[in-house]
């Protein structure tokens, strides 16, 4: 015998089934999903007091508005495009800048001055390496900006001191500023380096199973509720009770109706057989008449009918030839339209290329702005590079770039600080003769495009 599930147990069965299916699906995803690792490096921010005049105009980190904004500013600077480009160049990555920044999470830890630089990657060592690279790149960028602003401040205060030799305040400030030359940005430093995590941060199997179980339970509750409502509505439509005993009168009437239906079916079958025989007789008679009339028609012949058939065949042939000719003409017109469209597109591209060339020639023909002679500042001590880079097989020389920035930088005031930052960054990888490795060619061409074009 076949077991039947009671109607009242169907909602409970749906609830259990969907809950188990949700948990199983989540467990399967957790076991097969690719693993992700998270590593965190830490930066310590030491904002300078707003009342300290020594760092005025140097762009160092400081709290403002009575709030702890210096750490928040450092967290925002970690995700800047310049830092991402520096990380790509330092590690020799082929990933895009946006891809790197999408894996970065920089935030202030609680109410402290510590910034957590977290990177998520498919490799544990890769996550730690990227987190440390982002932290080191920000410190290097801030140091470069600090040294550039420091050099400008010393040069500017020196000019003011030359105009007012008796100013002891300027003399003391210059002494304090010269003491900071070659030093990193005093407001930010690396507090802790990231270590390779021992286990993946994603997927979390227990968390996924819990989420899948909850989703399955919710779907099961909804399905059980719907099934219970349907069963209740069907129960309300069904009579509360009925008599299973059938009267003998109804049984006899039912048997009589069945006998009448069987008799009617036999009559219909006989009638269908008679009609089929009649159809066969009529078909045979038509065949006989057609066979008798065909020889007579062939013997007599109808010249008018033959002529009309020939004319019809000639018209059909003419129409067919005309359709073929129209199809050939349509193909030729379509080919001419395609050639005309291609020629128009080529002319548009040629016109755009000529416009670009004309704009470039006009830009080259424009007279260069005359720069006022600026007295050469005293040479500043240059900090020794941290590490010696491999052989400088690149196209560019650091000393040549510095000369270009010094000679033509005044024409691009909005880019001068950025160029100084990149020059300071490239000193760590340049050889004693100033040659820069070829892996920095793309970065130099993108950053110093106005000078090396």
CATH number at residue 55: 3.30.1890
156 located within any domain: yes
Q: State the pLDDT at residue 233.
A: 79
294 located within any domain: yes
Would you call 435 helix, strand, or coil by DSSP? strand
The answer to whether residues 441 and 311 belong to one domain is no
Cis bond upstream, residue 203 (ω within 30): yes
The answer to whether residues 176 and 59 belong to one domain is yes
The structure tokens 């967290």 sit at: 75
Q: State the pLDDT at residue 23.
A: 85
Q: 435 - beta bridge partners?
A: 397
| Residues near 407 by beta carbon (within 8 Å), at least 6 away in sequence | none
90 located within any domain: yes
182 located within any domain: yes
Q: Is 286 left (phi over 0), alpha (psi -120 to 50) or beta?
A: alpha
The answer to whether residues 318 and 177 belong to one domain is no
20 located within any domain: no
Q: State the pLDDT at residue 194.
A: 92
| Residues near 371 by beta carbon (within 8 Å), at least 6 away in sequence | 410, 411
Its domain, for residue 53, covers 34-202
The answer to whether residues 177 and 321 belong to one domain is no
Number of domains in the chain: 3
The answer to whether residues 47 and 123 belong to one domain is yes
Q: Which of 305, 325, 345 is the last residue of a domain?
A: 325
The strand ranges marked E within 167-306 are 188-192
Q: Which of 301, 325, 349 is the last residue of a domain?
A: 325
2 located within any domain: no
Rounded distance between C-alpha atoms, residue 159 and residue 275, angstroms: 125
The answer to whether residues 71 and 168 belong to one domain is yes
443 located within any domain: yes
Q: State the pLDDT at residue 374.
A: 39
**What are the tokens at 308?**
């009309």
The answer to whether residues 55 and 152 belong to one domain is yes
Q: 397 - beta bridge partners?
A: 435
Rounded distance between C-alpha atoms, residue 29 and residue 151, angstroms: 57
- DSSP per position, 262-290: HHHHHHHHHHHHHHHHHHHHHHHHHHHHH
248 located within any domain: no
How far is CA 124 from its chain centroid?
A: 23
Q: Which of 325, 347, 367 is the last residue of a domain?
A: 325
pLDDT, tens digit only, all 453 positions of the chain: 445 567 777 788 888 898 899 889 878 887 777 888 989 999 999 888 877 777 877 788 888 766 778 888 989 999 999 999 999 999 999 989 999 899 999 999 988 889 999 999 889 899 899 999 999 999 999 999 889 998 988 888 888 878 777 778 778 888 888 888 888 999 999 999 999 998 888 777 788 788 989 998 899 888 888 888 887 777 665 544 444 454 566 657 767 777 777 777 777 777 778 777 877 886 887 787 777 655 554 544 557 777 877 887 787 777 677 767 766 775 665 666 677 567 657 667 776 877 787 788 777 765 544 434 434 444 444 333 333 334 456 789 999 999 999 988 888 888 888 888 888 888 888 898 989 898 888 888 888 888 887
Q: State the pLDDT at residue 33.
A: 77
| Residues near 132 by beta carbon (within 8 Å), at least 6 away in sequence | 41, 193, 194
Asked if 441 contacts 83 with a C-beta cutoff of 8 angstroms, the reply is no
The answer to whether residues 192 and 63 belong to one domain is yes
Cis bond upstream, residue 383 (ω within 30): no
């Amino acid at each position: 015998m076949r077991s039947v599930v009671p109607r009242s147990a169907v909602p409970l069965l749906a609830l259990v089934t969907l809950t188990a299916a949700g948990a199983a699906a989540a467990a399967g995803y957790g076991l097969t999903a690719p693993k992700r690792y998270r590593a965190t490096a830490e930066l310590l921010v030491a904002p300078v007091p707003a009342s300290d005049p020594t760092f005025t105009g140097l762009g160092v980190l400081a709290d403002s508005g009575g709030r702890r904004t210096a750490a928040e500013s450092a967290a925002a600077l970690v995700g800047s495009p310049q830092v991402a480009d520096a990380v790509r160049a330092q590690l020799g990555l082929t990933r895009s800048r946006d891809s790197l920044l999408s894996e970065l999470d920089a935030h202030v830890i609680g109410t402290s001055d510590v910034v957590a630089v977290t990177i998520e990657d498919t490799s544990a060592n890769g996550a730690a390496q990227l987190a440390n690279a982002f932290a080191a790149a920000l410190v290097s960028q801030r140091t470069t900006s600090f040294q550039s602003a420091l050099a400008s401040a010393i040069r500017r205060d020196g000019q003011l001191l030359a105009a007012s030799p008796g100013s002891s305040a300027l003399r003391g400030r210059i002494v304090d500023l010269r003491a900071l030359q070659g030093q990193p940005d005093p407001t930010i430093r690396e507090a802790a380096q990231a270590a390779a995590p021992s286990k993946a941060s994603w997927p979390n199997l227990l968390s996924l199973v819990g989420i899948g179980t909850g989703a399955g339970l919710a779907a099961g509750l909804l399905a059980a509720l719907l099934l219970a409502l349907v069963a209740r509505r069907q129960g309300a439509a069904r009579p509360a009770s009925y008599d299973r005993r059938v009267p003998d009168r109804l049984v006899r009437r039912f048997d009589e109706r069945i006998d009448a239906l069987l008799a009617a079916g036999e009559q219909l079958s006989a009638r269908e057989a008679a009609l089929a025989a009649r159809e066969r007789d009529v078909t045979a008679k038509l065949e006989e008449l057609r066979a008798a009339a065909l020889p007579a028609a062939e013997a007599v012949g109808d010249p008018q009918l033959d002529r009309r058939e020939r004319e019809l065949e000639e018209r059909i042939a003419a129409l067919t030839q005309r359709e073929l000719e129209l199809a050939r003409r349509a193909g030729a017109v379509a080919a001419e339209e395609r050639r005309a469209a291609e020629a128009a597109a080529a002319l548009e591209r040629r016109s755009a290329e000529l416009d670009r060339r004309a704009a470039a020639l006009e830009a080259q023909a424009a007279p260069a702005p005359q720069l006022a002679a600026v007295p050469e500042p005293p040479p500043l001590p240059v900090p020794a590079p941290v590490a010696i880079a491999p052989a400088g097989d690149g196209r560019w020389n650091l000393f040549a770039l510095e000369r270009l920035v010094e000679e033509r930088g005044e024409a691009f005031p909005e880019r001068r600080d950025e160029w100084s930052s990149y020059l300071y960054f490239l000193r760590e990888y340049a050889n004693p003769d100033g040659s820069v490795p070829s892996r920095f060619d793309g970065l130099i061409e993108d950053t110093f495009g106005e000078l090396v074009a």
